[in-house]
Amino acid sequence: MSNLAKLEFAALDISGENYLSWILDAEIHLDAMGLGDAIKEGNKASEQDKAKAMIFLRHHLHEGLKIEYLTVKDPSVLWKNLKERFDHQKTVILPKARYDWMHLRLQDFKTISEYNSAMFRITSQLTLYGERITDEDMLEKTFSTFHATNLLLQQQYREKGFHKYSELISCLLVAEQNNELLMKNHEARPTGSAPFPEVNAATSDPYNHGRGQDHNNNRGCNFGCGRSHGRGRGRTINHGRGHGYKGNFKEKLHQQKWNKNAEKEKERVENNGKKAENICYCCGSKGHWTRACYTPKHLVELYQESLKGRI
- Full DSSP string of 3-24: TGGG-SSPPBPTT-TTHHHHHH
Sign for the pseudo-dihedral over CA of 49, 11, 116, 89: positive
5: buried, middle or exposed (CB in 10 Å: 19+, 13-18, 0-12)? exposed
List the chain domain ranges.
4-87, 90-182, 243-311
Residue 214 has what pLDDT?
Answer: 47
pTM: 0.48
Cα 47 off chain centre by: 60
Please name the residue ranges forming H helices in 103-143: 112-128, 135-143
Task: Give the whole-angstrom CA distance, residue 277 versus residue 307.
Answer: 18
Q: Give yes or no for a contact between 130 and 101, defined as CB atoms under 8 angstroms apart.
A: no
Task: Give the whole-angstrom CA distance, residue 51 versus residue 83.
Answer: 20
Q: What's the chain's Rg over C-alpha atoms?
A: 45
Q: What is the mean pLDDT of each run of 10 residues along the chain (311 residues)?
A: 65 87 90 90 87 92 91 91 84 85 93 93 85 91 90 88 91 86 74 62 49 47 44 46 50 63 63 58 76 78 77 50
Task: Give the whole-angstrom CA distance, residue 169 versus residue 117.
Answer: 11
Residue 122 has what pLDDT?
Answer: 92
15: closest CA among 79, 73, 88? Answer: 88
Q: Give yes or no for a contact between 218 and 210, defined as CB atoms under 8 angstroms apart.
A: no
| pLDDT 10s digits, 112-159 | 999 999 999 999 888 877 788 999 999 999 999 998 888 888 888 888
Give every CB contact of residue 118 below 8 A, 6+ residues apart in sequence.
100, 104, 109
Residue 77 has what pLDDT?
Answer: 92
Residue 219 has what pLDDT?
Answer: 47
Q: Give yes or no for a contact between 112 and 169, defined as CB atoms under 8 angstroms apart.
A: yes
Rounded to the nearest 5 percent, the helix, strand and coil shares of the chain are: 65, 0, 35
Q: Give yes or no for a contact between 73 and 52, defined as CB atoms under 8 angstroms apart.
A: no
75: closest CA among 35, 123, 127? Answer: 35
97: closest CA among 76, 127, 72, 117? Answer: 127
Inter-CA distances, 53 with 13, 22, 50, 165, Å: 19, 15, 5, 39
Q: What are phi and psi of 61, to 5 degrees?
A: -120, 155
